[in-house]
Structure formats: C-alpha cells, structure tokens
Structure 1
Amino acid sequence: MSWIRDLPSLLILLGDKNPLCSKTVLRLQLGLGQKAPVNSPISREIDNIQYGLLGFYCREVDKDICYGPFVRLRAEIKELAICCLRFFSFIDSLLLQSLVSCCLYDALEPYTLLRILEVLDCAFRDGQIQIAEYTSFHLTLLSRFQVYPEKDCPAVKYDGKSNRKTFNSVTSIVCKYLAQIGDDYLVFQMLEKIIVDQICGEISMDNKCAFLRLLVSLDSKPTRLSELSITKISHVLPQYLIDISLIFADDDQKATSAIIVKQRQYYMIPSFYMFHNSKQLANLVLDVMASWVSEVSSVFSTQLFHSSINRSTRVCAITSVLRHMYKDGKMRQILLSCNMQIQTVLQNLLTLLSSEKTNLTLEEKYKIQSAYDRLKVISGNDVT
C-alpha cells in the first residue's frame, strides 16, 4: 500500500501539462476513498496523503505562496480533486490553509471557489473538520479576499473585470454556513470579538462590509453585542458610512443611476440592521458625526478624514449619510427617537457657517448651506 503515498507526488510531477494523466490519478484516488473500509489500513494511508497534497493545491515556502497544479487544471479535473476531500476521515488544518489560499487565488473560477465551500461544509457536518478550524477558514477568506480593481491596482491587470459579485456571493454563503454551525448564543460568544476586531481593523470597505454582514447574521434583536464591542464599532462605523457616501455619491446634475443606489444600499444596510438591533449604537454613531461637524475646522490635524477631501465635502458626506438613513423606512423610525443628535448636527452646521474661525470660502459655504437645508427638510427639524 506504500504506492498510495506516491499519488500526490505523481500529481505534482504531472503538473498541468498532462491533464488526462492527472485526471486518471485523481479518479484512482477518488475510487480508493469511496471503497476503503472505515478505520482500515488503506483508509489511514488515504488520510496521510493529504499532507502530500499541499503541494498540489497550494503551500507556503519562505512566506511566499506557491500555487500547485490544481489552480491551473481544467474545471472537471478540479472537481475530481475537490471530491477527493470528502473521503478523508479528517481534514487537517494544514490542508485547510492550503485550500483557503486556493480560494484567494485571483484567477480561480467562481464556481470552483463556491464548490470548495460547499464540500467543506459537508465535511464539517460529517465531523471531518473541527469547529475552530472550520470558522477560521471562513474568517480568513472574508478578511483576505481582495476585491478588484482597487484604486492602487491597475484595472488592466484584470482586463477591466471585477470580482465583487463573487465576493458578495461568498459572503452570503459564509454567513449562512456560520449561522448554522451550532447554538446561536454560543456561536455568537465564540466569534464576537474576532469579528469586531476585523471590523475595527485596517481592512478594505468590501471586507469590512462582509464582516458587518456576518455580525448581523449572527446577532439578534436586542443585540447580543457587549458594551465594549458597541463602543469599538461606534468609532469606525461613521467613517465607513462616510466612505460609502463619497464613493457612491448622488449626482446633482443628473439622476443617480439605479446601480449606484443599489450598491450604496448594499454597503449601508448591514449598519442599518445593527442600529435597528441597538439604539445605543445608533446614538453613539450620531454623536460622533455631530462632533466631527463641530471639529471640522481643525480636521487637517487629525486622521478623521482622508486628507485629499476638502472641508465642505466632508461635511456634506456626513449630511448625505443622514439623508440616506432617513430614506430607509426602519431607519427613519430610529432617527425619530434620536432627534436630539440630529438637532445637534444641524446646530453644529449653523455654527460652522457662522464662525469666522473656519475661513470658509464662498463655495464651501454654499455647499454646506445646501447640505444643511436638505437635511433640515428631510428630518423635519427647524434649528435657528
């Protein structure tokens, strides 16, 4: 039976230049897995070959990711390799790390990525994967997945394509799987700190949105979040919402496209659900926004906003976020109970306009005055 141990080496040696031979080897491996008696010597040999398969899928060498032949083979051969995972009596954490690296490979087909997730979920439910390793796999995927094209990455690298839809699908599947792994309360207790730390960390807007969606899918009303988590999230949500408002801004010259509106809602709605679950969080976020309006005159010495954005744009982005909240039926009801914070924002806008210390230009004053008027109308507040 020692020849079984040589199958991974043979697959690596064949690479992607001999697909028919690779297909034959994988069929042999799959057939052995399907027919091997449980706890038999041959089943143990099959379990051990997973360590040799690291080089076939992906492995780390001197902190560099080295992708194996798997990512370059045809789809039907990849499917055979994925099916082989089902016949290990356990899946080691090293193999899971190898697979998550494959899932993060830019050129991997979306179908193959989703198929890996599906098979691993079946393996987890059959007891092949420990819960800690299963959750770690999915959290790693959400935190390290790179949505392109990014501003600092030439779009030509990806021929103008975007994988945002793929990541949205991955996020939905991860939320579904992790919400079903056990007792709701215990799962939330286990993952809360990890998810909140990711949300508060230095990750892209897409990844942050993914973790917000995951947190919402695991949370309940009223929220299960601890006081510490609520406080930490309240410090990062304002900037997150402002970034969304700036990226998916309304066009005052022409009607905003339905695509932009839909994209903006996608990124904002997880926050709205969190406000719905916790009025305290909504109050804290509004307090931060109000304070930022009053501090805008000294914003150049802070890191509250991107330095490339002028003062009026920053202030208008804050009011834009609030207007989008009012346009959502459930959020409007929440804002009605946070009227004091909204009045503070409006009052701070007036103070900003009337203060001589800010040295606003005429254009800035016009933009801020327009933002104030629009927020006053939609909120139904009259501050003088």
Structure 2
Amino acid sequence: MGRPKGGAAASSSSSKKPKAKPKQRGGVDFKKYKHKVGRKLPPPKNATNTEIKSKAIVLPEQSMASERAGMAVNKRGLTLRELLQQTGHYNANVRRAALNGIKDIIVKHPSELRLHKVAIVEKLQERICDTDKVVRESLFSILQSFIFPSLKEDNAISTRSTLFLLMANILNGMTHLSMDVQLVSFRFLELVVINFPSSFPRYAEQVFNNFLAVLSNDRIHLQDKSKLNSVLSALGHCLSQVAYATENGNTSNRLGHNVSGRELWKCTLDEDNSGSRAFAMSSILMKLQNLIQILVNSVEVLASELSAKSTIDAQSSEALLSALHCLDLICKIFIQEVKKPQMKLGRSKTQFGPEWLKSSVLVYMMKLWGVSRSFHEKGDDKYYFFNLKIAEIFLCLSACMDNTMFPADKFCQFVSSLLAKVKTIRNKDTMEKNLNIITSIPDLVSNAPDDSKGYILEAFTDAFRDCKVDCKLILPYLDAMGKMLLPEKTGILFTEKDSGLEYHGAWVDELPRFLLQSIDKAPSVTKVVLELLLRIGQYFPTMECGNLHSFVKLFGVKSSSGTVELGPFIKLPRDCQELAISCLYYFSSLLPDTVELLASCCLSDVLEPIILFKIVEVLQSSYKAGNLHITDQLSFLSLLMARFRIHPGPFCTQEDSQKGSSLSTFKSLNHLILTSLSEMGDGSLVLELMWDILSKEIVRIQNYAFLLCSHLKTIELFYICLFMQAQIPSLHNMNGLFRIIVTLDAGTCKLMNEDAIKVIAGYLIDAAMDLSKTIELGFQSDQTRVFQYFIKPCIIIFCQNEKVLCCTLEMLKSFATGDDHGLSCVSKLNYPGELSRRICIVTSILIFLCNDGKLHKHLSLGKSVIKGILQHIRHLMDSNLPGVTYEDKQKLRFAFEQLKTKALQLNCWDRSELEGFSSTT
C-alpha cells in the first residue's frame, strides 16, 4: 500500500479507528492467565501446609564464658592449655596467633609461667624446626624474654630433662633440609649456651660437627652476611666455654662456669670417668683444628670482598671480626693445652705439644699473616681493627712462633704501628673494646729479640703517656707496665745492655699524675696505682724519686705564707690511705717535704685513729731505717702532742660531746709518741734536740692565752675568743708536753728558766680551775684522781729538781696574794678577781702536793712560802675589806684549816709554832 499524497488525505486516514474483532461463539473450557516473568506461582488450592513453628529453648549456665570464669585467658578468651594445643595446628596463621596469645598470657598473668614453665617449654620446643619464619622468631622472643630468665631463677631439677629435649630439637634443626631452619637453630643454641652453659658439654662434639658442616657450605657465604654472623656468634659463645674450661684446668665435661648451671651439670659428671672426659677433649681439639682451616678461608674471602669495596659493609665487617674472634679463642685453647702436661690414656699417649701446634695451626696462620700484610699496606684506618684482631691472635701464639715462620722484626714493627695509631683513632669506644693487645705486650717483649724490643717499648711508652685516666685502657696499661717493671711476675729482667731500662723511669714518672687525676675521675684506678707504686718502691729501694715529687701533693700543698692546704689523702678510703703511707717508707727522699703535710693530716678531725697511728709507726720505722732525720721526727711528734684537738673542749656543743672519745685517741697517741721518743737513744740528748721545738709550742700557747685574756673584756670580740679558744691546746696537750720532758729528762736544767716556771705554775692553776670540766671527759668522778692525772708529770719534775718546786711555790704565792702580773700571760684562763677563790685554788694545789710522800722533803724547803700564804689568809679573815663577804671568810677559814693540817703532816714546823700561829688568828 502506497503513501497517501498531501497532508489532508493523510490526516483523514489516520483518524479512522481499527475494526473490533468479532466475539467467539460457544463456551470457554480453560481460562488463560498471563503471568509476569519471575513471579512465584501461587500454590494450588489443594496443597498441604507443611510449615512447622517452634520456640527457642534456652538452657541456663551452659555458655563457654561461664566455664572460664577465674581462669587466665588471652584477648580472644583462650586459656594457656588451648593455646599450647593450637601451636601444633597445620595452619601457620593459627600457630602465630597461638604464640602471640601465650605471650599475652605470660605478660598479664606471670603466675601462669611460674606454674607451667616446664610444660610450656616441652610443648614449644617442637616449634624450633617450624617451617614458618614468623613462628620461629616468636618462639625465640618468648624463650629469650620470659621463659629462660624464669628457669634460671629456680634452677629446679625438673628443668634438666626439659633442656635435654630442647637441645635435641636444636640439634635436629641443625641438620634440617631448610637452610633457614639450620641457621635459626644456631641462634637457639647460642641462647641456651648463654643462659645454661653447663648444658653444652654433653653435646659439644656433635655441635662442633654441625658447625663444621654449616660453615663448609658455600651457600652461607654467598647469602646474606647476617646469617653468617648468627652462626659465628653462636660459635664464639661455644668456644668461650671451652676456653674457660681449658684455662681453669677443667675437662670437657666441666666447661660450664655459670652459677645457675652448676647444679644442672652435676648429673652428667657421674656418668663419665676421667679417661672418657680426656678422650672427648682430644676429639674436640681435632674438630677445632678443622675449624681453623675453614675460618681462615672465610677470613680470606671476607677480606677480599672488603678490599674490593670502596666503603666497608657493616655486616661483612662484623662477620670478619666474628671469624677472627673465633680464631683467637681456638688459638687460646690450643696454647692452654700445650702448656698442660701430656695425658696418658692406657697404653696410648696423646700429646699436644709445640710441634703439633706448628704443624696443625701455624701452617694455616700464614694465610692470616698475608691478610694482615695486605690490610697494613693499604694504610687505611678503616682496616685498623681487623689488623688489631689479627695481631692479638699472633700475640697469643708468640710463645710458640720462631723466626723461620714469622719474622720477629717485622712483627714487632707491625704491633708498634698499631699502638702508634691509638692516638689517631676517633671512635674511642670501639678502640677500647678491641685493643686487648696491651695485656700481651709483656710476653711479646720477653720473647722478642733484643734488637726488636725497642719498637714495642717506644710505641708502648708513647701510648701510655697519652692515655687518659678515665679511659678503659688505663688498667691494662698499668698491668702491662707492672709486669715489665717487676720481674717476679713474668720473669722479664732487663740488663744494663737492654734498651728497656731507659723506659722504666718514663713509666714511673707518669704514675703520680695518674694518681692525682684518678681520685676524682676514676677512683678504681687510685688503688691500682698506689699498689704499683708500693711494689716499685719495694723492688727498687734505691730508685731516684726526683720526678715523683708530685706524689707529695696527695697529702697537701704548703703556700708561700706557710699555711697548709690539705690534699685528697684524707678523703681516700682506708685501704688506699694505708697504701699511700706505706709508699712513703720506701720513697725516703720525699719524706722531708712530707712530714709537715702529714702532721696537718693527722690533726684533721676527718682522719681515722687507725690511720693516725699508722702514720706515726711508718715515720718511726723510717727514722730507725735511717731514711728520716731525727729533727724531722722530733718536730712531727712534738707537733702532734701539742696541737691534737680534743673534743669536747671548754666551749664545745652537745653535738661535739657525742662525736666519740677523741680523748681516748689522744691517750693512745700519747703512749705511742712517748714510746717512740724513748726508742731514740739518750733522753737528755733527745730533749736537748727538741727543746727549741717545745719552747716554740709553749710560746704559741702563751701568745694565744694573752690575746684571749685581753679580749675577754670586750663583748664585741666574744666570738673571736671562741675561735681562738678552739685553737689553744687543752690541758691534755700541756700534760702531754710535760710528759715528754719527764720521759726524756725530768731533771733537766732547762726548767730553771723563769718562763718555764711560769708555765708550770699556770698549768697547775688551770688544772685546778678546770677540774669540773675534765670530769666530764671520761675520768672517774673522784676529783682527787682527776687532779693527780694532771699534776703527775709536775710531781716527777719537782722530785728531780727541788729548785723548780721552790720557784713554783713562790709563783703560786704571788697568785694567791694578787700579785700575778707575770703569771697572767701564761695561762689560758681568765683568773678570778676574788681573792677568796684564788686562795682556795692555791690551797687545793698545795694539799695535793702534800699528799705525795715523795715531796715532803722538798716541801719543807718552802715552808716560808706556805707560812706566808697562811699569814695572808689570816690577814684577810681579820680585815674588813669591802670585797670580802661573810661567805668568803668561811671559805678562807676552811682553806686555812686544811692547809695548816697538811703543814703539820710535813714535819716542817713544831706543833707549838703552828698552834701559836693559829691561836693568834
């Protein structure tokens, strides 16, 4: 049908409606439904409903959380038992989560570890050979941080079997097909050896076999150097156990030396006899011999790799140092075995002697010497520590080397060049850890040819001078120097032809400097230096000590004005003080400059009495040996006796009185000084020599007393007087000076001097006035015995010299009558102005003198003096002076009667004369 033409025709045709379909005739059998796609058909009308409806059944107390109430669980709510079971799961993620959960429980509940540590180890040790790296690392962390520290604390016998199981799995891991499992097994071995060294000897032979196998594998050298470092680190710890046992004379089954592991290893000792232990050590030595070859090859490979690089790789450097450290330990083991006597095992004889060492060890060391030469020729400081370790190895073997294998001259130059570079090394901490060759210097010097010793000694001396006192190397330097100075230690003896003698003085000259610097910076060095100085003084008694003059600064420094500033000696510990004092006995040339400084130290309140007595004894011994002049010793003893301060004093506080009995110390010192003086020879000659010293001290006392008495009248200067009073010797010091005179020569004519008479009279008056104070110092409460202690030396003097007694009585009379202008300047007390008190003081002195029967004959010569005193007392009682009260007259009457009674006992006067004298009163 064609398209209609024109718009009208088209619109008319489109408006027409379609025709409707005609309806069907007849009935419909089925009704047809139209359904949409995806709609569910309704069920048929005759369908059966099969739906079941039910309610939930809830049973109380059936949850898992209620069963775990009070139990230790981790974050996921699992107990320790469940977590241990999951460590064996086939899924690696489950095993990782289980180990993390165990760590969580141990941290939050430490009691779980204390109760179940054995069960935990027995279960976790299976994971040593786990195929998953994270699982192995987690196990290592748990053992290192938690389990092993807890096992070391209790040291229970039950841990023995646990460690055996652990070692079995470690040995199994060392032979695992996976290289990663092998390497981590050596880390576990190192952890066990560090914490339980006694568990190593039983497996030593098998362990070294595994070391040989893994280090022989080229794969470990081609892989990451950190893996090689882990193996070498474990080997170093195992070799350390063998080296310790060999050095201490133990066999292979006694290699452990950790305290916590001793009990653990006792069970294995019962199973072995001496023969099997020796055979085990022999087998181990053979395996170590094979290890040397492997380690030397490793050093060559690592050295060539480092030489080819422009910068040193940290891991390669660590691997090289670890390999050298293992070689050093093996060489030390061999040297110790060579020094031991040969071991006989039945009919066979195994001998490890020098020839065996040359053929089995030194042959391989030729390659190591080549490595050191290549490093040394480069002249780069970055190879310094490698050469240092190589030199340490050869120093260990120096006793067994000869000039045919290693040129001694070149080797000495090589070591001296290493010592010379110590000053240029910037990293001091690294240098201090690796510079162990210092301790081997004495052995090298003893074995080196005479023409090669100069290189070593010169380099050693320069390095020693530049060493700081707070450096860790100072103690090795001092030890090495002591060995070369003192032949009895190492047998090194330098003759006059040797070049070593010229360095002795240089070493000794540095010791005082180290001593003075170490007191504040390194106290541990102080005692070492003092011990070394003492040994030097004992071995070289004729040594020139001119360069040791700075040693005197230890005791103090004397200024230009004459005052002494105490040195650090008084702050040293007691043992160091005793060493310093003992050194003075041998360094006699230092004594003249030290005596005055020692006296100042002795007068210090800080110094202990035992050190004070030690100083007196050492100086007395030096005098007897002819090392100290007699005038110096007399000056020292007099100074101590005159200026030793006794607490408490007249102006002491309550705290001072509780410090202790310095009086008992002074008594012991007094006895020691008098004994020393009596040993010096004729007493009159000794007193003649020291009289000027005693007079000087007496003048010093007089000057202090005069100033004190003059200032006591001014209140403004009261505190100045207190200070001056503290400096004035007490009655005990004066008593000591008088005892010196009595001990040496009580009848000396030196006492006839007017000044000496004033001192004696003033001393008696001071003692009578100070009775109440002296009782508090520890004497008996009986005043008679107290005063007798003070006047005893005066009584001895009076018995030997009656003229001194008569002059003293005249001086006492002048004091009683008030005419004491000359006497007031020799006493430290401000005399009372009351005549009644003065008379009582003099009366008490005369009564004590009269009580001594030895003085009766001499007192009869002074009866006129006593009579004059009695007349003066009578005059005061009869007079009506305004200053004399009724109480004073009663005191005067009592004194008069006492003195008259004592005068009758002297038989100096007739009874009628005295009775008539008294009746007129």
TM above 0.5, yes or no, is yes
Whether 1:34 and 2:538 are equivalent positions in the alignment is yes
Whether 1:56 and 2:554 are equivalent positions in the alignment is yes
Q: Could you tell me which of 247, 263, 268 is aligned with 2:786?
A: 263
Paired position in structure 2 for 1:253? none
What amino acid maps onto 1:15 in structure 2?
A: I
What pairs with 1:117-156 in structure 2 (closer than 5 Å)? 117-156=616-655
Separation in structure 2 between the aligned mates of residue 302 and residue 31 of structure 1, nearest angstrom:
56
Q: Give the match's secondary structure for 2:627.
A: coil
Q: Could you tell me which of 733, 750, 755 is aligned with 1:232?
A: 755
Q: Could you tell me which of 257, 262, 283 is aligned with 2:806?
A: 283
What amino acid maps onto 1:58 in structure 2?
A: G
What pairs with 1:341-356 in structure 2 (closer than 5 Å)? 341-356=865-880
- The count of corresponding residues between Structure 1 and Structure 2 is 368
- CA pair 126-358 structure 1, distance change in 2 beyond 3 A: farther
Q: Could you tell me which of 194, 217, 220 is aligned with 2:743?
A: 217
Whether 1:377 and 2:891 are equivalent positions in the alignment is no
The Cα of 1:275 is off from its aligned counterpart by 0.4
The Cα of 1:159 is off from its aligned counterpart by 4.0
Deviation by residue 1:199-258 (Cα, 9 ceiling, x = unmatched): 4542532222211111111114xx2214753x32212222211111121159xxxxx944
- CA pair 163-321 structure 1, distance change in 2 beyond 3 A: same
- CA pair 348-308 structure 1, distance change in 2 beyond 3 A: closer
Q: Give the match's secondary structure for 1:128.
A: coil
Q: Could you tell me which of 685, 688, 691 is aligned with 1:186?
A: 685
Q: Give the match's secondary structure for 2:589.
A: coil
Separation in structure 1 between the aligned mates of residue 610 and residue 648 of structure 2, nearest angstrom:
20
The Cα of 1:29 is off from its aligned counterpart by 0.7
TM-score by length of 1: 0.86
Q: Give the match's secondary structure for 1:151.
A: coil
- CA pair 9-159 structure 1, distance change in 2 beyond 3 A: farther
Select the structure with the greater relative contact order (CA < 8 A; seq sep ≥ 6). 1
Higher mean C-alpha deviation, range 124-133 or range 275-284: 124-133
The Cα of 1:283 is off from its aligned counterpart by 0.5
Paired position in structure 2 for 1:243? 766
Q: Structure 1 regions of 5+ residues with no counterpart?
A: 251-255
The Cα of 1:19 is off from its aligned counterpart by 4.3
The Cα of 1:293 is off from its aligned counterpart by 2.1
Separation in structure 2 between the aligned mates of residue 81 and residue 355 of structure 1, nearest angstrom:
69
Q: Give the match's secondary structure for 2:660.
A: coil
What pairs with 1:7-22 in structure 2 (closer than 5 Å)? 7-15=511-519, 18-22=522-526
Q: Could you tell me which of 109, 113, 124 is aligned with 2:608?
A: 109
- CA pair 232-307 structure 1, distance change in 2 beyond 3 A: closer
- CA pair 22-260 structure 1, distance change in 2 beyond 3 A: farther
Separation in structure 2 between the aligned mates of residue 106 and residue 227 of structure 1, nearest angstrom:
33
Whether 1:272 and 2:795 are equivalent positions in the alignment is yes
Separation in structure 2 between the aligned mates of residue 259 and residue 2 of structure 1, nearest angstrom:
64
The Cα of 1:307 is off from its aligned counterpart by 4.5
Q: Give the match's secondary structure for 1:66.
A: strand
Q: Is the 8 A contact 1:289 1:345 kept in 2?
A: no
Deviation by residue 1:92-125 (Cα, 9 ceiling, x = unmatched): 3221111111111112111111110001011011
Separation in structure 1 between the aligned mates of residue 694 and residue 594 of structure 2, nearest angstrom:
24
Higher mean C-alpha deviation, range 210-219 or range 166-175: 166-175
What pairs with 1:276-315 in structure 2 (closer than 5 Å)? 276-295=799-818, 306-307=830-831, 310-315=834-839
Q: Is the 8 A contact 1:199 1:212 kept in 2?
A: no
Separation in structure 2 between the aligned mates of residue 163 and residue 309 of structure 1, nearest angstrom:
33
What amino acid maps onto 1:125 in structure 2?
A: K
Q: Is the 8 A contact 2:635 2:693 kept in 1?
A: no
* Structure of higher CA gyration radius: 2
What pairs with 1:79-118 in structure 2 (closer than 5 Å)? 79-118=578-617
The Cα of 1:155 is off from its aligned counterpart by 4.7
What amino acid maps onto 1:289 in structure 2?
A: L
Q: Structure 2 regions of 5+ residues with no counterpart?
A: 1-504, 703-727, 774-778
- CA pair 109-379 structure 1, distance change in 2 beyond 3 A: same
Separation in structure 1 between the aligned mates of residue 868 and residue 851 of structure 2, nearest angstrom:
20
Separation in structure 1 between the aligned mates of residue 522 and residue 786 of structure 2, nearest angstrom:
43
Separation in structure 2 between the aligned mates of residue 372 and residue 16 of structure 1, nearest angstrom:
67
Deviation by residue 1:134-193 (Cα, 9 ceiling, x = unmatched): 212222222322222223343525744341222232223222222332333322322234
What amino acid maps onto 2:557 in structure 1?
A: R
Q: Could you tell me which of 163, 174, 178 is aligned with 2:673?
A: 174
Q: Is the 8 A contact 2:694 2:737 kept in 1?
A: yes
Paired position in structure 1 for 2:694? 195
Separation in structure 2 between the aligned mates of residue 206 and residue 195 of structure 1, nearest angstrom:
15
Higher mean C-alpha deviation, range 150-159 or range 127-136: 150-159
- CA pair 352-292 structure 1, distance change in 2 beyond 3 A: farther
Higher mean C-alpha deviation, range 265-274 or range 13-22: 13-22
- CA pair 333-351 structure 1, distance change in 2 beyond 3 A: same
Q: Give the match's secondary structure for 1:181.
A: coil
Separation in structure 1 between the aligned mates of residue 551 and residue 806 of structure 2, nearest angstrom:
52
Paired position in structure 2 for 1:24? 528
What amino acid maps onto 1:209 in structure 2?
A: N
Q: Could you tell me which of 822, 832, 845 is aligned with 1:321?
A: 845
Q: Is the 8 A contact 2:631 2:689 kept in 1?
A: no
- CA pair 13-227 structure 1, distance change in 2 beyond 3 A: closer
The Cα of 1:87 is off from its aligned counterpart by 1.0
Paired position in structure 2 for 1:362? 886
Q: Is the 8 A contact 2:764 2:791 kept in 1?
A: yes
The Cα of 1:271 is off from its aligned counterpart by 0.7
Q: Give the match's secondary structure for 2:749.
A: coil
Q: Give the match's secondary structure for 1:346.
A: helix
Give me the CA root mean square deviation. Answer: 2.8
What amino acid maps onto 2:847 in structure 1?
A: R
- CA pair 48-210 structure 1, distance change in 2 beyond 3 A: farther
Seq. identity, %? 27
What amino acid maps onto 1:57 in structure 2?
A: F
Paired position in structure 2 for 1:4? 508
Q: Is the 8 A contact 2:588 2:628 kept in 1?
A: no
Q: Give the match's secondary structure for 1:83.
A: helix
Q: Is the 8 A contact 2:760 2:808 kept in 1?
A: yes
- CA pair 332-162 structure 1, distance change in 2 beyond 3 A: farther
- CA pair 55-120 structure 1, distance change in 2 beyond 3 A: same
TM-score by length of 2: 0.38
